Chain A
Amino acid sequence: SQTIHQWPATLVQPVGSPLSLECTVEGTSNPNLYWYRQAAGRGLQLLFYSVGIGQISSEVPQNLSASRPQDRQFILSSKKLLLSDSGFYLCAWSPGQGYTFGSGTRLTVV
């Protein structure tokens, strides 16, 4: 079966610290992968998407970066977190016209 794993579930990080969020999918190959962010009380904003290994497209300028070192692995990173990076981060994958979301990471930058 096809599943998506995202961790950690919650994270509290100080301003200026690095960040690494990981997302992996199972049971599929060559999916489109996505990182979304949801600020408190807001909708979901697409941050990055990837159509293949090493192929990353950024939707909005920001303090974050993404990488796809393997077909089913998608990583969201930052070298130095800002307060404005706080939010709920969701990874998603799409093999076609359906979308499955991970359980999310709630990031609080203090």
Chain B
Amino acid sequence: AQKVTQAQTEISVVEKEDVTLDCVYETRDTTYYLFWYKQPPSGELVFLIRRNSFDEQNEISGRYSWNFQKSTSSFNFTITASQVVDSAVYFCALSDVDTGRRALTFGSGTRLQVQP
């Protein structure tokens, strides 16, 4: 069975601080996808990134960066110079590929509060 663990329930930082959100996953699949979604107070899920299991290159998009380490089954997300607009709940998710189900298994989420 697949499992995603986000051990940090809530993080509070002051604006302009860097913050890293941790994600650890478990899967028996050799091929899988990892995702990060942002959920602002309005509730909708905003897609941030998708990474497949064969691509361990780190990725940077503006103030966002992701560190995928297959050896430790981790896919961590860093926000550099955080802003108040980054306040949201962030979910890490894992998708199975080898079955027709192809559903997302979500972590419990990390609530990030960025104080001005």
A interface residues, Cβ below 8 angstroms from B: 32, 34, 36, 42-46, 49, 51, 57, 59, 88, 90, 92, 94, 97-104, 106
Contact = CB atoms under 8 A, between A and B. Distances in A.
Contact of B35 (A45, A59, A88, A99): A99
A34 B103 contact: yes
A10 to B, nearest CB: 10
A99 B47 contact: yes
Interface residues of B, number: 22
Interface of B: 33, 35, 37, 43-45, 47, 50, 52, 91, 95, 97, 100-109
A36 B103 CA distance: 10
Contacts of A44: 91, 104, 106
Contacts, number: 54
B43 A88 contact: yes
Given A45-B106, A49-B101, 8 more contacts: A46-B104, A49-B103, A94-B102, A97-B52, A97-B102, A98-B47, A99-B104, A101-B37
14 contacts: A34-B103, A36-B104, A43-B109, A44-B106, A45-B106, A59-B103, A97-B50, A97-B102, A99-B35, A99-B95, A101-B44, A103-B44, A104-B43, A104-B44
* Residue from A44, A88, A102 with most neighbouring chain B CB atoms (10 Å): A44
